[in-house]
Amino acid sequence: MIGTDSTYPPFESIDPATNQIVGFDPDLMAEMAKLINIKPEFKTTSFDTIFEALASKQFDAVMSAVTITDERKQKVDFTDPYVSIGQRVVALKGNDKIKSYEDLKTNNFQVGVQRGTTGEQAALTTAGVPDANVKRYDDIASAFADLKNNAIDAIVADGPTVANYTGQPEYQDAVALVGDAFTTEDYGIAVQKGDTELLNGFNAALAQLKQNGKIDELKRKYDIKE
Amino acid sequence: MYSVIPARILFYNEAHKEGIQMKGLRLALLLGLLMAVLAACGGSSTGTDSTGAQGSPGGTGTTGASGSAAAGSAAASRAGTTAGLPDLNGRAV
């Protein structure tokens, strides 16, 4: 079983027509499964507790647009990187006071993040937003809903995902990307500590899919820009 | 001189040689078939390697060497279709 937070397009989301988890990560895992002979099944779970769930063997792996960090490496093992991204800022259209991530710590701005993500860390550290001004959400969709309703001033999250939300019909007239990515992060697939069989299999499959251009093909399909 | 060899000796020699060749061919075909079956049973499970390729030396095998080629190619394929990919045997994840 593979744990994922399926509110994170274009990497994973629920297709309302089929109620299936779709996106870059499930597509990539399907390609990997063909190469190393595994039968993957994705299950939606909360991102906030996803690594604890993996460590306690509720999942065999976590594939959920996960940034490889030293802190997470204490609990789980990671594959080689398969996508590089950066944190970006989204604000309401017409908000002239937020022109880059450096403005987020000013004017008592309320900044929305998803709990337990590197976006939360980036808002607190790199952007320097006071903890009291960081509003934490269980999923990024709720943060976008609050931004559109003017309940917060900005969102910090992974670049491809905020670009995806910003382009959705529901949000494209209300919100806009601000500035460029201000961090550099690598996504990896997490496995239980010591599961070398799965880790080596994933790494071998990823290497093959990088080499044959399949990962680049999927990035183009899902408009993921690094 | 060739002209002094009795015809029946010539006939016996040719027939004997032909018999040996026929036996050798049958043996080689049997060996080739056996190796192809072994290769098919022990080979592809990743779906990306070619069982047909493993079996083909058996089909053309006329010597014992063709059998070991078939077995060798099966082992190489299990090790991962020219790319060293592991086979997790249908593990559910």
Contacts of B80 in chain A (CB under 8 A): 204
Contacts of B85 in chain A (CB under 8 A): 35-36, 201, 204-205, 208
Minimal CA separation from A57 to chain B, in Å: 11
Structure tokens, A62: 């976590």
Structure tokens, B10: 């010539």
More confident residue, B7 or A176: A176
Average pLDDT, consecutive stretches of 10 residues, N- to C-terminus, chain A (226 residues): 97 96 98 97 96 96 97 96 98 96 97 97 98 97 97 98 97 96 98 97 97 97 90
B interface mutation test: which of A25, A32, A35, A214 has the most B CBs within 10 A? Answer: A35
CA distances from A84 to A51, A182, A183 (A): 20, 13, 10
Which pLDDT score is estimated for A51?
96
Minimal CA separation from A41 to chain B, in Å: 6
Q: What region, left, alpha or beta, does residue A20 occupy, with left being phi > 0 and alpha being psi -120 to 50 degrees?
A: beta
- Quote the ipTM score: 0.86
Q: What does the H/E/C string look like for B4-44?
A: HCCHHHHHHHHHHHHHHHHHHHHHHHHHHHHHHHHHHHHCC
Q: What is the pLDDT of residues B41-50, one digit of tens each?
A: 444 433 333 3
Which pLDDT score is estimated for A226?
73
| Topology adopted by domain A2-83+187-221 | D-Maltodextrin-Binding Protein; domain 2 (3.40.190)
Omega prior to A10 cis, within 30 of 0:
yes
pTM of the model: 0.73
**Residue A68, C-beta contacts closer than 8 angstroms, at least 6 positions apart:** A78, A81, A185, A186, A187, A188
CB contact under 8 A, B93 and A39: yes
Q: In a 3-state reduction of DSSP, which class is residue B91? A: strand
Which pLDDT score is estimated for A18?
96
Chain B residues whose C-beta is within 8 A of a chain A C-beta are 45-48, 80, 83-93
- The structure tokens 């995806």 sit at A164
Residue type for position A189: I
More confident residue, B20 or B84: B84
Q: A87-178 has which CATH code?
A: 3.40.190.10
Contacts of B93 in chain A (CB under 8 A): 1-2, 38-41, 60-61, 198
How far is the C-alpha of A64 from the C-alpha of A59, rounded, in Å?
12
Q: What is the pLDDT of residues B51-88, one digit of tens each?
A: 333 333 333 333 333 333 333 333 334 444 445 799 99
Interface A:B, Cβ pairs < 8 A: 56
Residue in A213, A36, A217, A63 with CA at minimum distance from that of residue B45:
A36
Q: What is the mean pLDDT of chain B?
A: 50
Residue range(s) in chain A whose domain bears CATH number 3.40.190.10: 2-83+187-221, 87-178
What's the half-sphere exposure (Cβ side, CA atoms, 13 Å) at A100? 6
